[in-house]
Structure 1
Amino acid sequence: MSQTNHQKFIACLQSTGRVGKSIFAETLIHWLNFAGVPFAGIDSDAEHRTLSSRHKEISFFNAVESPDNFVKLIGGIPPTPVVIGDFPAQATGFLLENWNIYNVSEVLAAKGTRLVNIIFAADDQTAQISAARILAQFGDSSDYLIVRNPARARSDEFNKLGLYKALQKAGAREITLPTILAATLAQVQEVAKARQAYVTLDEAAKDPSFPMINRFDIEAFQNKVMAQLEDTADILLPDIGLIKSRIVRKGKVDQGQIDPFNL
């Protein structure tokens, strides 16, 4: 569980692909901005540079190019309450090896920084093995957030693993990404095609050509995810008092209580 700290370093060190890492990161950033929580980030994905190309708070630095660069990253982590690290999908081996060689957990603890490992629940064996390696290496020196994305990755077998039980024992929290309509994602691609550039969900939804019903779909997705992030803020933030704006929760209508003859 979390100890007293001054900063959270949120990163996915797991070897994963096509599980929704970018959409999760986008929504995390959207929530931090909405909540008024100061943050910064380092994008080390040289191939895509998705976050650094879209968000002014995220800078590009190829920390996985060499051990020298990795050490520079750790030594130069920005002083904001939250820092997001974005690494290539297949960099687990490099990251864990160098994390161990340079005793990074001890270095971060001395600075009052605590790692939050994002673990995607997936039945993919590579993702499971890398998640197990992460848990074995970090143990209780890290917090864990399990992210489920049923639209992109099944997790039935993941739920049966000793890994899942061990993560729960380590105090892991969970969120689930709701499904975005295929028609909405198609409209996002239309905006990206027109601009000839990658666009975030936010950018697409604000485009004048974007259909209103698909905009509401994106808003519903973001609100559901942000509500879950707010509920797990005790591990995502060094202090939940940093939250300046909270999500308005919409109550569900109890259909069983509706009497058509007495409305």
Structure 2
Amino acid sequence: MQYRGVLRKMKTENNEEVDYFLEFENDIVHINQLLDRELAIYFVEYQCLNCGKNKKIFRQGFCYDCFQEIPSAGDWIMRPELSKAHLGEEDRDLDYEKKVQLKPHIVYLANSSNVKVGVTRKSQIPTRWIDQGAHKAIVILETPNRYLAGITEVALKKHVADKTNWRTMLKNEIEDKNLAEERDKLKEFIPDETKEFYLKDAQEFSMNFPVIEYPKKLKSLNLEKDNSFKGKLKGIKGQYLIFENDVVFNVRNSEGYVVDFEIVS
């Protein structure tokens, strides 16, 4: 069976194990059902997720021109502390920025390769943690807008990591930590502006990933360099497909690629 469509990050549901779905234009593929089966992926062309043109993808599934112009690719996406909608100041499109920035946001700790601090919209919990491949996560505080969450993250990342080591995450070489204890250690470093939003009673979330076999020496599949690939699926974690022989494929980094996705056997 073969499907053709543009790649977007996999949709997820946090059940007993995380369920993963690839959504194409007319089909939805439940990836968990393909574990231990041979799959093939063929690169066809590019399709920018904004303009839809066959232009080389620059970042986040967008061509260069769109990435430089559209509001959903503004600098405040990666750096929440740059948010200005609460001041009524526009970056690229104030209406869009108000819709996103002026919503409840969470500052959290997640353990995927190490304990790290991060920011996401409240509505993205637990999706954000699943996408990072986190086994456990806990909320530190909930703010009414993105800016306040951003300045809190800036303060806390002086004392805890703010990046995931994707190699360690995929190898599952994770040191288990009591996230409630780690959160409480950081309380004194929360900025005065956001101390009132601290959630001392928040409980840990847990995520279990569908993996038969973790890789040992990672080999990243790059569809720009290798236009086709065939291999047996051994697991799914974060936004990665894990194949036999230590090959891993980052679906999210390949957003905007049109592919033929084939279930070989």
Question: What TM-score, normalized to structure 2?
Answer: 0.32
Greater strand share, structure number: 2
Greater helix share, structure number: 1
Question: What TM-score, normalized to structure 1?
Answer: 0.32
